[in-house]
Amino acid sequence: MSSGSDPKKDHGVLYLGIDLGTSRTSVSASNGLRETVASFVGYPKDVVSRKLLKKDVLFGSEAVEHRLSLNFFRPLQHGVLKSNDDGAANQDNLGAAKDLISEIIRRAKPRKDELIYAVIGAPAQASINNKEAIIEAARQSVDSVMLCSEPFAVAYGLDMLDDVLVIDIGAGTVDLCRMHGTMPEDTDQITLTTAGDYVDEELEKLIATRYPEAQFTIQMIKSIKERHAAVSEEMEKVIVDLPVRGKPTPFDITAEMREACRKIVPPIVEGLGQLIATFDPEFQQRLKDRVLLAGGGSQIRGLDSAIEREMHENLGGGRVLRIEEPMYGGANGALKIAHDMPAEYWEKLK
């Protein structure tokens, strides 16, 4: 398969790579457009909120800003659609996911006469039920759709398909994937839930313990983390204003930020160790020396060095390379897969 596009095959087709994430949803399109939106969806609660907002549905930061007036959804949890106790997709979240996918596709500006073929990245170990629910959510907006594992999409986009370990850190999951020149199987992949949301929860607990008088929401904690996340000893001081009885008050949360962010490192290295130990012994060192760090969580300052240090202590070495485009690594790779799929494959999937 070539990554170049065949003009006859591409006539009247818009290819999309979509990274459907717990926190952000991104698209890379064959028309050159790239967009990202926070994975939040909101519907006005009543006639007053509808009159105020003048919209039937809000997305991303706009939905977060007006969430008190909305029935507010974050349709994905741990990178997959939130489900009921029986494992079936929750209908409200399924509806919100359909609207979210429809919105990210609208932002890619497809022409009315174009077919839309999409590859959507999902967590490495998403259940069969969840994969079917994601495909169902996408079908109303696309002509043909397939899923791939997010870390595989990252590696494919960079043409690093042989003897590579991918760490893809999202809000809901950390996906680890071992690449060895073939499509990864279940045994090549590990999904952890100690990801971005976990860091938010740990940071919330640490701040509440040290500064019980401070008032904050998890949404405030998330935006503080996105601005200041770091793990190194020499990190810049993190001083934030939080209300105390309604008055903004400065708090030093440097140590809490470092501790919360560092908590994701041991589970990642333990997972890498499992994938390395069960690989052909002759190629284990090559795997260790080619670790790709991707996803929104890869932007934590100093995280690549922290993982390397932990690998040296526990696995006898390793080299970690942070990818250049954490926001679009998965979407870019999914787009490349979409382009490389033969036209007859897309026809079969319709």
Contact criterion met (CB below 8 Å) for 299 and 225: no
Q: How far apart are CA 287 and CA 162, in angstroms?
A: 9
86 with 18, same domain? yes
Are 161 and 155 in contact by the 8 Å Cβ rule? The answer is yes
How many C-alpha atoms does 272 have within 13 Å on its Cβ side? 34
Q: Which two tokens stand for residue 4?
A: 């170049």
Q: Per the domain annotation, does 314 fall within a domain? A: no
Domains contained in the chain, number: 2
Backbone angles phi, psi at 172, to 5 degrees: -90, -35
Beta carbons within 8 Å of 60's beta carbon, 6+ residues apart: 37, 38, 39, 40
Are residues 117 and 20 part of one domain?
A: yes
CB 196 within 8 A of CB 23: yes
Looking at 245, 262, 279, which one is the last position of a domain? 262
Residues contacting 198, CB < 8 A, separation 6+? 263, 264
Q: Are residues 106 and 212 in the same domain?
A: no
Measure the CA–CA gap between 323 and 295, rounded to whole angstroms: 9
Which of 237, 194, 243, 187 is closest to 214 using CA atoms?
A: 243
Does the residue 173 lie in any domain? Answer: no
Domain closes at, from 238, 262, 286: 262
Assess whether 14 and 142 both reside in one domain.
yes
Q: 53 and 123: one domain?
A: yes
Domain boundary among 215, 237, 262: 262
Q: What is the CATH number of the domain that holds 237?
A: 3.30.420.40
Residues 81 and 144 in one domain: yes
Enumerate the β-bridge partners of residue 169: 174
Does residue 336 sit in the same domain as residue 254?
Answer: no
Q: Identify the pLDDT of residue 85.
A: 66
Residues 145 and 230 in one domain: no
**Domain housing 213:** 196-262
Q: 168 lies in a domain?
A: no
Q: Could you tell me if residue 35 is inside a domain?
A: yes
**What is the total residue count of the chain?**
350
Q: Are residues 249 and 111 in the same domain?
A: no
Domain contains 220: yes
- Is 182 within the bounds of a domain? no
Q: Is residue 98 part of a domain?
A: yes
Question: How far apart are the C-alpha atoms of 5 and 18, rounded to whole Å?
Answer: 18
Please check whether residue 2 lies inside any domain of the structure: no
Cα separation of 235 and 255, whole Å? 10
d(CA 118, CA 146): 7
Q: Which residues of the chain have pLDDT under 70?
A: 1-11, 79, 85-89, 125
Residue 116, CA atoms < 13 Å, CB-side half-sphere:
24
**What is the pLDDT, as a whole number, of residue 86?**
65
Whether residue 139 sits in one domain with residue 52 = yes
The CA distance from 42 to 74, in Å, is 9
Is 210 found in the same domain as 334? no
pLDDT one-digit tens code per residue, 138-169: 998 999 999 998 899 999 999 999 999 999 99
Q: 76-104 as b/e, with b when 16 or more CB fall inside 10 Å?
A: bbbbbbbbeeeeebbeebbbbbbbbbbbb
Residues 40, 109 within the same domain: yes
